[in-house]
Structure 1
């Protein structure tokens, strides 16, 4: 997902905006279900994955998704959890600097530097998990992850856990 400087600023703004007051196992489930509902309503055959490092908290595979998309979701999440930024933002920054991720040596085949994974950041704690979508274009995967997180944050705000 090659991005112009304005796209980088937008991606950075999304990360500043989408900070949660908390994130527990129940929140992972709620976030995953919300994102799945958005994807299903649009007829998207995607994999949705919410994870902490080494621990899958939620995974849904919608009709039409393939095993390859599961592998891509895991690789995108690895980028987000390692870099503590969305995989789209990492891609935009590296592309903007003219850097090929494979050539730098520390992002091997376990990482997919392309849009679709977004950090779950908790106020006062930092990045604690990632939500990842795979099965559409990089931009659409990113947008779906953001839509799910935005919906979840809106529900939390309505419960009185204001962001």
Structure 2
């Protein structure tokens, strides 16, 4: 396991909630939109869902229909593996292969690119996902992490 993978797993351990409500999803989505607007200056797509249905979706100015594909394929990776989509992509690189060649999953439905992160509740495990699209995979991941950190600091 390389250093990046260790860092990504440490983020998943750090960024856990005692509970996660629909109102938390709304607040998280708005925080992430503010980060994109005020700190990055670019439009992104944000999608948050629990393991049953969507709770927040917003496509900022500058996004396109292509962002729908990226949101869904990155989110599907988190739901399949239980780890961030960036971690899963890095896991395959660390094994000397690519997500495409190593996973055997259809790229129409799964992409091991950064931007989707598991929402975890202590004692329950993964209860949902937060997904960002519109920047590089690493930047999408960081925006999701920054949003989660800010929300947890407010709780």
Would you say same fold, with TM above 0.5? yes
Which shows bigger deviation, 80-89 or 106-115?
106-115
Question: 16, 19, 33: which one pairs with 1:19?
Answer: 16
Structure 2 partner of 1:132 = 131
Structure 1 gap ranges (5+): 157-163
- Aligned CA-pair RMSD: 1.4
**Could you tell me how far apart the structure 1 residues matched to 2:97 and 2:142 are?**
24
Cα 1:46–1:77 change in 2 (3 A) is: same
Query: Is this contact kept in 1: 2:89–2:98, CA < 8 A?
Result: no
Q: Which residue number in structure 1 is paired with residue 72 of structure 2?
A: 74
- Of residues 18, 32, 36, the one that matches 2:33 is 36
Counterpart CA distance in 1 for 2:51 and 2:14 is 23
Q: How does 1:4-153 map to 2 (within 5 A)?
A: 5-41=2-38, 42-53=40-51, 55-104=53-102, 106-108=104-106, 109-153=108-152
| Cα distance between partner residues in 2 of 1:53 and 1:111 | 17
Q: Distance in 2 between matches of 1:21 and 1:52?
A: 15
* Cα distance in 2 between the residues matched to 1:105 and 1:125: 27
Query: How far is 1:97 from its partner?
Result: 0.5
- Partner SS for 2:43: coil
Instruction: Give TM-score, length-normalised by structure 2.
Output: 0.93
Q: Distance in 1 between matches of 2:97 and 2:124?
A: 30
What residue ranges of structure 2 are gaps of 5+ in the alignment?
none
